[in-house]
Amino acid sequence: MPEKVEWMTVEQVAQELGVHPDTIRGYIRERELPAVQLKRTYRIKRKDYEEFLRRRYTGKEEQE
């Protein structure tokens, strides 16, 4: 059975990061953050959001 995809709104991502929703929309328009457009709104997969953050992490990589 395929795993269930968790979707986030632009507003949810913005709130979690403490930035304005327009900042997130900019990342989407610049193709830095993958998203699906539904009419005038976007949905972001949590997995893509987490990868977006991982690529921007400036600290030392964690050892597993």
Q: List pLDDT tens digits, range 15-54.
A: 999 999 999 999 999 999 999 999 999 999 999 999 999 9
Res. 13 pLDDT band, cuts 50 70 90: very high
CA distances from 12 to 1, 5, 16, 45, 60 (A): 27, 16, 6, 11, 27
- Element containing residue 8 per DSSP (H, E): strand 7-9
Please state the pTM of the whole predicted model: 0.82
**Residue 63 pLDDT more than 70?**
no
